[in-house]
Amino acid sequence: MKIQLNGLPIDTTAHTLAELLREQQIDTSCVASALNGQFVPRARYESQALTAGCELEVLSPMQGG
């Protein structure tokens, strides 16, 4: 299925947000995610379904000032 990840088109076989993050080797303990513009709590990563064409933003906190 084709989705957008951080603005880039990708092909994935993942069905859930957690599966996608594992597939992309993204550490779920230190990211925040938004699916189609809506924040997704970490507790929902395992159950949050992905659909073709969805837009996912995965952000890591940045240090600095």
Residue range 7-45, pLDDT digits in tens: 999 999 999 999 999 999 999 888 999 999 999 999 999
Q: What is the pTM of this model?
A: 0.90
Whether 31 maps to a domain, the answer reads: yes
| Higher local confidence (pLDDT), 61 or 29 | 29
Q: What percent helix, strand, coil does the chain show, rounded to 5?
A: 20, 35, 45
Provide the pLDDT for residue 26: 93
Number of domains in the chain: 1
Residue 21 included in any domain: yes
Q: Does residue 40 form part of some domain?
A: yes
Does residue 7 lie in a domain region? yes
User: Which amino acid is located at 1 in the chain?
Assistant: M
Residue 55: inside a domain, yes or no?
yes
What's the order of all strands across the beta sheet hosting 32-35? 8-11, 2-5, 55-59, 32-35, 38-40
Q: What CATH number should be reported for the domain holding residue 12? A: 3.10.20.30
Q: Do 50 and 12 form a contact (C-beta atoms < 8 A)?
A: yes
* Residue 38 belongs to some domain of the structure: yes
Residue 63 predicted with pLDDT over 70: no
Position 65 in a domain? no
